[in-house]
Structure 1
């Protein structure tokens, strides 16, 4: 501790003038500072501790008739289903609520309950899948998009989901 006190030099900033010859700069090292898109995604994966997109483990299959019944039940309860959107450039997925309309055939129409920022979201995200609450489970369906706008999303129902 005594040695540190002896080596300590107090500098008064008001009386000290800057001499360019006394100022030391770090030596320049010629290093590539740009990283590639793949390296950025790798860093993102590590920091988020996410595994790359993998195939969904198949659960109990649900056919189209059961799907239509579940969608109409959600509509009857005035409840929402979940729509997953995937970022066009990154591996980020967001989930939005959507209120299904009565479903009779192959077409599912859902209304966005929060319409304010939906157009901004749709600029950067694309449809991935829907999740339908079923008690303690979620049933996932990958559907074909017919139309997405600021009011609704229209989807073509598949033959089965998991």
Structure 2
């Protein structure tokens, strides 16, 4: 995928369901590509057999952009627990990752949304205006890599706040 992107002149900003991203963590970090991963979901089908619990922590440790995500409406409410599981797995193998660094795997602040590669490219102005109108007096956490451009997604985010 990365070779094709280079050959045809487009950029990859994020790999979703990047179960084996730890294998190319140095490449992802060098190119500034995020990996959107689960904290402990692997081995459920053949292409996910090489997944490891330390995946998120290893991407972060290499200087890459690690994003903990969920495809489930139930799981998205507990991303903090998934980040904690990934953090614990990283600490078990000796990685020095702080709690503050780990929470970045789940959130991104509205005031620093340009630090998230997907937000730099998409810059959904209507979504940002909606977020500012919702709570103008305080910072709103956004998921790095989440799409705030669709109305349905926006309603879901608004309900969770």
TM-score (norm. length: structure 1)? 0.22
**Counting helix residues as a fraction of each chain, which structure ranks higher?**
2
Please identify the structure whose Cα radius of gyration is greater.
Answer: 1
